[in-house]
């Protein structure tokens, strides 16, 4: 019988964070995705309409990684009325060679937060301008915080502005980020004001209609859109993707099905057969990232199974180093 390590969220918070290690392993995973041999089946989706819930299951086998993750992400949107978080879930880490379950990571979505922010850092490393005087973050949730932190790992960021529909939340988020990152962070009164002063823009909302428009963007700006992970979500006007000098996606098939790319194609702003660069191709130098200082670049990130596998492998390694987790004889 195999021995399995059970890791709780509290333990996993000691094993994975938005740091250089997470960025490196997620970058490595995207690089391998572009090199081929990765198996990443379409997302499995279970709808539980009678309780306003859904469950997504993602996985990817990445050659060269000694484990692969299966991630189960329930989102039940009436939970806050019951005093529970909307999102919870776990990751299962299997041995790549034998399929045997090595670890059950009861992360309540924490590892997803980390790997999502890490992908933002990877995109920014290849696409953001060298100097980010001001970063604008649209949204004031967990990803607003983690994406700005991730950006500071790959670019010196002098100051940031946060916009959210709820001004109170934007101010609270700005205050926390100023404390954590040690740079000036302010709340902006409207999205346009925030975006017009920025060299890096990150959209992190669940918006169903665009909150970012093309004519707000200054030459030389990089935009990362990471809020859209379902076909009903749409943060960015199609013109932003259509007019950008460089467009990079995490996964062509996923972005065409559920990302900003999906809406740009559906609205006729981009042809249905467009083949934007994938992040891994840019990492591998196969296709260019930013080519000139005045380019506007866009990264459309929907979140992929290779990131889940990467962060789970890293978390397991750290758990072993730190001696964390409960061993169970399955």
E runs forming strands in the chain: 3-8, 44-48, 53-60, 67-76, 90-95, 101-106, 132-138, 157-163, 185-187, 200-203, 222-225, 246-249, 277-278, 297-300, 326-329
> Strand 200-203 relative to strand 101-106: parallel, antiparallel, unpaired?
unpaired
**One symbol per residue from 102 to 121: x for binding a copy of itself (CB under 8 A), - otherwise; what is it?**
--x-x-x-------------
Closer by beta carbon to a copy of itself, 62 or else 255: 62
Residues 208-227 close enough to bind a copy of itself by CB under 8 A: none
State the CB neighbour count (10 A cutoff) for residue 261.
Answer: 28
Residue whose tokens read 């189960």: 72
- Residue 86 Cβ vs a copy of itself, minimum distance, rounded to whole Å: 9
Residue 254 contacts a copy of itself per CB under 8 A: no
Asked whether position 163 contacts a copy of itself by CB under 8 A, the answer is no
Check residue 263 for interaction with a copy of itself (CB under 8 A): no
Tell me whether residue 20 or residue 44 sits nearer to a copy of itself (CB atom): 44
Q: How far apart are CA 208 and CA 328, in angstroms?
A: 44
Stretch that binds a copy of itself, among 98-106, 186-194, 205-213, 242-250 (CB under 8 A): 98-106
| Min separation Cβ 281 and a copy of itself, Å | 23
Residue 184: CB atoms within 10 A of its CB come to 13
Closer CB to a copy of itself, 52 or 267, in the complex: 52
| Smallest distance, a copy of itself to C-beta of residue 28, A | 18
**Residue pair 309/68 in contact by the 8 Å Cβ criterion:** yes
Size of residue set near a copy of itself by CB under 8 A: 53
Tell me how far apart the alpha carbons of residues 201 and 245 are, in angstroms, rounded to a whole number: 15
Q: What is the spatial distance between Cα 147 and Cα 225, in angstroms, rounded to a whole number?
A: 11
- The smaller minimum CB distance to a copy of itself, of residues 103 and 287, is found at 103
Q: Which of 23, 26, 30, 89 binds a copy of itself (CB under 8 A)?
A: 89
| 234 lines the binding site for a copy of itself (CB under 8 A) | no
Length of the chain: 330
Under rule CB under 8 A, residue 57 binds a copy of itself: yes
- Given 14, 20, 41, 275, the residue binding a copy of itself (CB under 8 A): 41
User: Least distance in Å: CB of 40 to a copy of itself?
Assistant: 8
Q: Are 211 and 179 in contact (CB under 8 A)?
A: no
The least CB distance from residue 9 to a copy of itself, in Å, is 6
Give Cβ neighbours of residue 83 (< 8 Å, ≥ 6 apart).
Answer: none
Contacting range for a copy of itself; rule: CB under 8 A; set: 49-57, 196-204, 216-224, 244-252:
49-57
Buried b (16+ CB within 10 A) or exposed e, 290-306: beeeebbbbbbbbbbbb
List the one residue from 20, 48, 189, 292 that touches a copy of itself (CB under 8 A). 48
Candidates 99, 112, 14; CA nearest to 56 is 112
- Contact call for residues 136 and 188 (beta carbons, < 8 A): yes
CB of 53 to a copy of itself, least distance (A): 5
Q: List the one residue out of 3, 31, 30 whose CA is nearest residue 95.
A: 3
Residue among 21, 24, 35, 88 that touches a copy of itself (CB under 8 A): 88
Residue 39 interacting with a copy of itself (CB under 8 A): yes
CB atoms within 10 A of CB 34: 18
Q: Which residues bind a copy of itself (CB under 8 A)?
A: 1-2, 4, 6, 8-10, 37, 39, 41-42, 44-51, 53, 55, 57, 59-61, 63, 68, 70, 72, 74-76, 79, 82, 84, 88-90, 92, 94, 96-101, 104, 106, 108, 326, 328-330
């Amino acid at each position: 019988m195999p021995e399995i390590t059970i890791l709780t969220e509290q333990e996993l918070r000691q094993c994975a964070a938005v740091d250089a290690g997470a960025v490196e392993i997620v970058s490595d995973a995207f690089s391998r995705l572009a090199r081929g041999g990765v198996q990443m089946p379409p997302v499995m989706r279970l709808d539980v309409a009678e309780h306003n819930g859904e469950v997504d299951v993602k996985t990817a086998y990445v050659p060269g990684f000694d484990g692969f993750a299966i991630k189960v992400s329930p989102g039940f949107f009436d939970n806050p009325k019951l005093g529970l978080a909307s999102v919870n879930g776990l990751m299962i880490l299997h041995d790549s060679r034998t399929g045997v379950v090595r670890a059950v990571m009861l992360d309540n979505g924490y590892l997803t937060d980390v790997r999502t922010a890490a992908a933002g850092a990877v995109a920014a490393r290849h696409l953001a301008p060298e100097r980010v005087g001001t970063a604008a973050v649209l949204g004031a949730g967990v990803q607003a915080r983690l994406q700005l932190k991730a950006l500071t790992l790959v670019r010196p960021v002098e100051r940031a502005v946060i916009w959210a529909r709820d001004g109170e939340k934007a101010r609270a988020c700005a205050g926390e980020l100023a404390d954590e990152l040690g740079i000036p962070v302010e709340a902006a009164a409207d999205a346009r004001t925030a975006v017009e002063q920025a060299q890096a823009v990150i959209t992190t909302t669940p918006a169903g209609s665009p909150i970012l428009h093309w004519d707000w963007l200054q030459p030389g700006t990089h935009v990362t859109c990471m809020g859209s992970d379902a076909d009903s979500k749409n943060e960015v006007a199609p013109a932003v993707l259509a007019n950008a000098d460089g467009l990079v996606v995490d996964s062509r098939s996923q972005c065409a099905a559920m990302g900003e790319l999906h809406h740009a194609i559906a609205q006729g702003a981009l042809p249905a057969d467009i083949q934007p660069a994938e992040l891994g191709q840019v990492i591998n130098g196969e296709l260019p990232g930013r080519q000139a200082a005045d380019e506007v670049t866009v990264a459309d990130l929907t979140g992929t199974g290779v990131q889940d596998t990467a962060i789970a492998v890293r978390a397991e390694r750290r758990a072993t180093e730190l001696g964390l987790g409960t061993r169970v004889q399955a």
